[in-house]
Amino acid sequence: MSAFSTFVHVSVTAALATTGIIPYGDFVFGFFTVESASATTLTWYASADGTNYQAAQDDDGAIVQTIAASKAYKIPDELAGARYLKAVGDDVCSLIVSFKG
């Protein structure tokens, strides 16, 4: 039976090194709410080990999502299978992320 995990709060910055980690490896679906945002876009990065991150790509290039404060979004399907994720903003924002496995 699938269940939601305990949600995580993630601080997003404009730099990969300082953006919070989203542990995604045990899940196949995720949703996030933008708590507060100066950011208007998120660029997604994936990692197998939680240390080395690469820009996530789809057939059109980098996976970039447009966001706004007080709205909810699905984590892109192309990121399923990634163990760890980071969402780097064009500015700072705060996310609440929940998962389903």
At 50-83, the pLDDT tens digits run 999 999 999 999 999 999 999 999 999 999 889 9
What per-residue confidence (pLDDT) applies to 3? 57
pLDDT at 18 over 60: yes
The token pair that represents 31 in the structure block: 């949703």
What per-residue confidence (pLDDT) applies to 1? 43
Structurally, the chain folds into a number of domains equal to: 1
What per-residue confidence (pLDDT) applies to 4? 55
DSSP symbol at 76: P
Domain that residue 28 falls in: 8-100
The token pair that represents 50 in the structure block: 């939680």
Q: Does residue 2 fall inside a structural domain?
A: no
DSSP symbol at 26: T
Q: Does residue 3 fall inside a structural domain?
A: no
Inter-CA distances, 44 with 1, 16, 17, 20, 41, Å: 28, 10, 13, 12, 10
How remote is the C-alpha of 46 from its chain's centroid? 9
Who wins on pLDDT, 6 or 26? 26
